[in-house]
Structure 1
């Protein structure tokens, strides 16, 4: 048997271990350290399994899980960009496109094409699955910050308006989850976790 293709797939899998070293701004709820990309993606996959019933439209849950598991692979090369960092977000798309070429180019044939296609669909946020995946990606750090008494919201003086803009995909994918998040935003403001403007 020729192991050439399998060798490339294993190299790709080994490269993915680097996700465990990409740290996000969001801290663990217990506040002991910042979470990494691998933990974040795992959390999104579980959230999808638990919360998919709240999607406004019927979604392919497995496809959403695939999207949330691979959506941050590009950060192995592009790094994590804090969602509220206006300057860092200016060239984020360009950096991530270059990273996508590199990471998804590591895996040959249809497998690489499927991963790249899922990543592009997630980024475009046009399908029901991509919108729900994006909603999980926005809701997870939201839940983390709320349950850590403001977490990075307090650290970076984040406003109610900024959070509402960030969780906007929820409005298009799940009325229930959006209403829930808006209720927590009001509570966060009352508790002093976030500012008004």
Structure 2
């Protein structure tokens, strides 16, 4: 019971991890981002041209940023943060697996997601990218001055969203809107 309570209280801290994007007058939390990704995935899965296991997609998205409880969020427009990302995340995984009762399952899910070992993990990563585009559309304060240029976003996201025809089309439509609103 003690291990379970420690696990739950530690994982709940994902709500306090700030990301680079805004929600109203505050920063979005990594927990909000994970929830948003799951919601987007649930809707977009109905448009996919191939059958994907919804539960697997949800597992990937539920856990994909849990390491940020200890590693923080690395913004891809910040080269210094990106240099340290892998090392910080590996240490975070070690810490989480030291107390998580289902550590083996957690490691398997995270490993499959990070290495894109399944079509579901590829889809989950595409959704992760799409979520940031949607968040920028909804952020009235987002602008080109934030350092997220069209080229940088395309370089980072295109390899993932292009794995599926529908996510690529959705991404391109979102990018057109971001460009028209001068947010990138």
Q: TM-score, normalised by structure 2?
A: 0.91
TM-superposition CA deviations, 1:66-118 (whole Å, max 9, x none)? 1111111111111111122122111211110111011122123xx21001110
Which residue matches 1:191?
A: 181
- Partner of 2:20, secondary structure, is strand
For structure 2, the 5+ residue unaligned runs are none
Task: State the superposition RMSD in angstroms.
Answer: 1.7
Which residue matches 1:134?
A: 125
> Cα offset for 1:10?
1.9
Query: Is the 8 Å Cα contact of residues 54 and 177 (structure 1) preserved in structure 2?
Result: no
User: Which among 47, 56, 59 is matched to residue 54 of structure 1?
Assistant: 47
For structure 1, the 5+ residue unaligned runs are 1-5
Which residue matches 2:58?
A: 65
User: Which among 87, 106, 110 is matched to residue 115 of structure 1?
Assistant: 106
> Cα offset for 1:149?
4.6
Which residue matches 2:67?
A: 74
Query: Is the 8 Å Cα contact of residues 125 and 131 (structure 1) preserved in structure 2?
Result: yes
**Larger of the two Rg values belongs to structure:** 1
Query: Is the 8 Å Cα contact of residues 19 and 27 (structure 2) preserved in structure 1?
Result: yes
- The CA distance in 2 between the partners of 1:49 and 1:143, in whole Å, is 15
Which residue matches 1:45?
A: 38
1:176 aligns to 2:169 (yes or no): no
